Structure 1
Amino acid sequence: MASAIPSSMSRLRLGLTCLSIALNALCAGGVLTFPLMSPALAERMKFTQPQLTSIVLAGMVGQYPAAPLIGKLVDYYGPWLCSLIASVLFASTFGLSAWIYASTPQDIDHPNSLSFNVLAVCFGLAGLAQASSLFSSLFAATKNFPSHIGIVSAASMVMYGLSPIFLSFFANIFTDPNSGLDLTNYLTFLALVGGTVNLFGACVLTVPGGHAVLETTDGELEASIDETTSLLSGPRKHDEEVNVIAVKEPDEPSLADLLRDPYFWVLFVFMSLTIGCAEMVQSNIGSITLSLFPVSSAVSGISTEAAIATQVRLFAIANTLSRLLSGTLADILSPVARYLPSGIYCFTKKQRFSRVLFLTSSAAILVFSFAWTVVAVRTQRALWVLSIGAGLVNGSIFIIVPGILSSLWGIQNLGRNFGVLILSPLLGTPAFSLLYSYIAESHTDGGICKGIHCWQLTFWINVGCGIVALVLSWLMWSRWRDRV
């Protein structure tokens, strides 16, 4: 009876941990719903396109600078601390943003520079909160279930991918058919939900003591033996006669050694180009959609916000499905190597092709999506190709990269290595977003740019960058195809 009580408490604690993992990921994407906010900010606060882009860019880029530090905090102190940081930041940044918007008079003629600067800082810190919330969810999952790292990391990332869809449905509650989104109440909602959910995570997100050990069950070992002995002649008599496909063990490099690896930088540049282009679409899909509206329709709050919400959801759905499908297919077709009880580091299942080819397919989708948009898209309804394509690229790359990192450079410092690598969009996202905003601004005398010339040149440049990413993926495949 006494032993049953600790067992019940352990199950309860694990259940609360799983609930918090899901909630932290599902409620993390408030910044990603900015396209729903931009019409209200443009109408009431009179922000220009570069100002709107700068605010959302601050939120997108704010995720990345502190990522290595967040990864270290998770590795050393546990995910609860990152959840606490996210709670404080979400509550304060979205709460202050709501107050600034509500206190702005409705009859101003030009934007207030102080309000713009404060909102940019708030969204930058909200981006940091988003990263902290995601890291607390992702690494609480992987450290609590180390033997199922692929499944649980995919589940956490899928929840994160669903976040904009989840929050956009709540935005509908605060939307009036005539006046549009009540941004004050929506921002207040984001502050309360983000703060409360992550405070709950700070109380319950724990990891088992000691170092995580990947275990291989007898059934898995037998399965791996069957996989690797199919080419051997004659019956199997003893386990010691069985051959396995041994691969090079992960290097577990120091940070300095990691940064000296030239192929780490090839992966870094690849992610900067691909994620940068995809996040440029994500952060500016509102103005891209408006550019294809007839001027007479742009004043309709219903059609404008419905069109933008549709594109936001298409991106999020594609992002989510790509995380789920890419993670599942990668585990089936490109399993990562692992240690057997004998100490041999090998593939326990047949590897049909390298995980790097998932990166290659993402770059190819990126090239097609931008080229198709430039050549064929002339109406708002046809934008689904761009939204879905960018969502597929963003989701697939983020779910494939952790497996590549753990295979090449080990799992012990996975949080640190992943944190360093996702600094890459810190270069690509602002570069492509600012390029888009200034080209669009050059084709208008004020307000929202109209017509395909707002983004045509930017998207052709993105096509070229996608081709460069294809070349980089071939270099990585040539180097790593036997290991990942």
Structure 2
Amino acid sequence: MFSLVALKCTTILCMSLCAGGIFLFPLLAPGLIEHLHLTQPQLSTIALAGMAGQYPFSFVVGWLFDRYGPQLCSFLAAVMFSAAFGLSASELSSTPGHSERPGAAVAWRLTIYFAMAGLGTVLSYFAFVFSATKTFTRYLTIASGVTMALFGLSPLFLSYIASKFFSDSSTGVLNISQFLQFLAMSTGVVNLAGAFTLVIPSSATTSSTSNSSATNNDANEQSPLINRETAPDCMQDPRDNSTLEFLRDPYFWILAFYMVMILGACEMIISNVGTIVISLPSQFIQTLTSEGEQVASLQVKILSVSNTLSRLLVGPVADFVSPVFSYQHPEGFTTVTKHRMSRMVFLSGSASLLAITCAWMVFGVQTRHDVWLLSVGTGITYGAVWTVLPGVTCSVWGIRNLARNFGLIAYSPFVGTPIFSYVYALIVARHTLQGMTCKGRICWESTFIFSLGTSLAALAITAILWRKWSGRM
């Protein structure tokens, strides 16, 4: 039994560290320009296809996971990753060096391939995150936080592999074709391994609360959802609703609105922290030309570290003070350990921290070296919200359809990020002279006033949800 769990954990570790290939596009872009003569709009379209490919199918992938388990998701991820990266590598290797052929058809094919890689990412993500949470139901938030943190480290891990083994030691130039071939093979192998190992032991698949044939059959089909420690009767859990009933719950939409405002603002900041830094003056009188870029790079690292650490720390704390509610017949809603605090504390705290961060940008920041608090606050907020969200979803709407429900809520940043990003972009454009870079607080001050208002609105939303879900969270 222990060896099977260890094998599953090893597979989850490998899958999470290999799943961030689409985030390495900045490493690939220079080579694509040199070898395929792609334009910046074409490159942006390819990158957007990879990023956007994660979102449209999150509900479908969640439904697949809940209905058929992680093995099918892992197998499909292996197919998508191998095909996407393999075909991209073939596209490069079949093109003569410095070819002058038009790049429109090539760009179109690469757009399709990276969209496939984006779909592979969400398939793999759901497979390893929810395999972990539904295996270790007693420590659900720890499991989700650790796997999400490892996924967040994936681009760093893969970029190290790229520079160490696939870059010229003298020039530092990346061999894109060989690296893409490596991604095709590695992601294919680890996700194919998940198709065989991401299962719950048979000893943990029997419900102790029902002896009917129908319930036993359902328990076998839904075995990944059941843990021996809790053994919930999924058929009798009043939280198990259809998709339509879930969407009719007004508090789902209220929670989604909170996510739109918090995650939308965070992802806008993550995407634009570099330009925010460069718009500000240095605290030194004389600076190097590259000083702005160095500070921007530092802020990106601070964001990454804050995001990762918050996921690793918030998970254990949340599971200790706010264990997830399960349903057992006839006891009703129970927790495996003492419930000390509502999980809404973490959502309220995240909204408060983001509001403080935005207020600092509006009233405190004067030089580019003051932006570190923005990076820390955004990273902690972003990591904490994503970490506690599976536990919130599970406590309110049950574990049986956790992946489906999480997938629906995960559409929130797909709505929020474009809204906040366009607000930022339009304000910057309004204060930028043609052919020049926007300089000064005026470039983004109005954006953070807007974000401060939405953060306070999100904080008010948590008060509504806290009152509604009292005793269930």
TM over 0.5: yes
Q: What's the counterpart of residue 228 of structure 1?
A: none
AA partner of residue 470 (structure 1): L
In 2, the alpha carbon distance for the partners of 1:54 and 1:390 equals 27
Higher relative contact order (CA 8 A, sep 6+): 1
Select the residue among 269, 284, 291 that pairs with 1:281: 269
Residue 256 of structure 2 aligns to a residue whose secondary structure is helix
- After TM superposition, list the pairs within 5 Å mapping 1:415-454 onto structure 2: 415-440=403-428, 443=432, 445=434, 452-454=441-443
Corresponding residue of 1:327 = 315
Q: Aligned runs of 1:398-417 on 2, under 5 Å?
A: 398-417=386-405
Q: What amino acid does structure 2 have at the position aligned with 1:458? A: T
User: Equivalents in 2 of 1:91, 1:403: separation in Å?
Assistant: 32
Q: Does the Cα contact within 8 Å between 1:147 and 1:215 map onto a contact in 2?
A: no
Deviations 1:63-109 (A, max 9, x none): 2211111112212222122222222333343455567778698899x
Deviation at 1:445, TM superposition (A): 4.1
Q: Which residue in the other structure is 1:223 paired with?
A: none
* TM norm structure 2: 0.77
Paired residues, number:
438
**What amino acid is aligned across from residue 72 of structure 1 in structure 2?**
W
**Relative to structure 1, is the Cα distance of residues 90 and 61 closer, same or farther in structure 2, using a 3 angstrom cutoff?**
same
**Larger CA deviation: 261-270 vs 15-24:** 15-24
Map 1:126-141 onto structure 2 (within 5 A).
126-141=117-132
- Tell me whether 248-257 or 352-361 shows the greater mean CA deviation: 248-257
Paired residue for 2:188, among 195, 201, 204? 195
The equivalent residue for 2:208 is none
- The yes-or-no answer on 1:373 pairing with 2:361 is yes
> CA deviation digits over 1:396-431, x for unaligned, max 9?
111111111111111111111111111111111222
Aligned partner (choices 166, 174, 187) of residue 182 of structure 1: 174
Amino acid at match of 1:89: M
Structure-2 separation of matches of 1:208 and 1:14: 8
Once the two structures are overlaid, the 10-residue window that deviates more, 309-318 or 408-417, is 309-318
SS of equivalent residue, structure 1 residue 251: coil
Distance 2:352 2:379 in 1: 13
Partner residue in 2 for 1:206: 199
* Inter-CA distance 371–40: structure 2 relative to 1 (3 Å threshold): farther
Against the structure 1 CA distance between its residues 314 and 28, is the aligned structure 2 distance closer, same or farther, given a 3 Å change threshold?
farther
Alpha-carbon shift at residue 389 of structure 1 (Å): 2.1
Alignment partner of 1:345: what SS?
strand
8 A Cα contact 2:140 2:324, kept in partner: no
Deviation at 1:136, TM superposition (A): 0.8
Is residue 2:62 matched to residue 1:71? Answer: yes
Aligned AA for 1:482? G
Q: Distance in 2 between matches of 1:466 and 1:55?
A: 32
**Cα distance in 1, alignment partners of residues 138 and 112 from structure 2:** 40
For residues 247-273 of structure 1, what are the alpha-carbon distances to aligned partners after superposition, in whole Å with 9 as ceiling and x for unaligned?
x97521211111111111000111122
Counterparts of 1:94-243 in structure 2, within 5 Å, are 94-95=85-86, 119-173=110-164, 182=174, 184=176, 187=180, 189-209=182-202, 210=220, 211=223, 212-216=225-229
Partner of 1:221: none
2:77 to 86, 91, 95: 86
Structure 1 residues 293 and 352: CA distance shift in structure 2, 3 A: same
CA displacement 1:325-368 (0-9 Å, x = unmatched)? 22111112222233568634234544332111211111122222
2:383 matched residue in structure 1: 395
> Are 1:82 and 1:132, in contact at CA under 8 Å, matched by a contact in 2?
yes
C-alpha distance in 2, partners of 1:366/1:54? 31
> Which moved further from structure 2: 24-33 or 260-269?
24-33
Contact 1:92 / 1:191 at 8 angstroms: preserved in 2? yes
Comparing 441-450 with 123-132, greater Cα deviation is found at: 441-450
8 Å CA contact 1:271–1:425 kept in 2: the answer is: yes
Name which of 242, 256, 281 aligns with 1:254: 242
Paired residues of 2:163 and 2:174 also in contact (CA < 8 A): no
Other-structure match for 2:457: 468
Counterpart among 431, 435, 447 of residue 458 in structure 1? 447
8 A Cα contact 1:71 1:419, kept in partner: yes
Is contact 1:78-1:207 (8 Å) kept?
A: no
- The aligned residue for residue 350 of structure 2 is 362
CA distance in 1, matches of 2:409, 2:187: 26
Residues 116, 194 of structure 1: alpha-carbon distance in 2 compared, 3 angstrom cutoff: same
Distance 2:92 2:442 in 1: 31
Structure 2 runs not aligned, ≥5 long: 203-219, 231-235
Deviation at 1:468, TM superposition (A): 1.9
- Measured in 1, the distance between the counterparts of 2:317 and 2:160 equals 30
CA distance in 1, matches of 2:440, 2:169: 26
Return the letter of the residue paired with 2:313.
L
User: What's the CA shift for 1:164?
Assistant: 3.2
- When residues 186 and 483 of structure 1 are mapped into structure 2, their CA distance, relative to the original with a 3 A threshold, is same
Contact 2:278 2:293 in 1 (8 A): no
> Deviation digits for residues 225-262 of structure 1, max 9, x if unmatched?
xxxxxxxxxxxxxxxxxxxxxxx975212111111111
Letter in 2 for 1:196: V
Matches of 2:264 and 2:456 in 1, distance apart? 14
Equivalent residue runs for 1:36-47 within 5 Å? none
Which of 458, 469, 472 is residue 480 of structure 1 equivalent to? 469
* Partners of 1:92 and 1:203 in 2: CA distance: 20
1:352 alignment partner in structure 2: 340
Distance 1:152 1:452, change over 3 A: same
> For residues 383 and 142 of structure 1, do their structure 2 counterparts lie closer, same or farther at Cα, with a shift above 3 Å needed?
same
Aligned amino acid, residue 389 of structure 1: G
Gaps of at least 5 residues in structure 1 are: 1-9, 218-247
1:434-465: CA deviations, max 9, x gaps? 44345445636469766555544433332222
- Report the Cα offset of residue 183 of structure 1: 7.3
1:52 positional shift: 6.7
Cα separation, 1, equivalents of 2:238 and 2:39: 50
Normalising by structure 1, what TM-score?
A: 0.76
Matched-pair contact (CA < 8 Å) for 2:132–2:144: yes
Q: Which amino acid aligns with 1:436?
A: Y
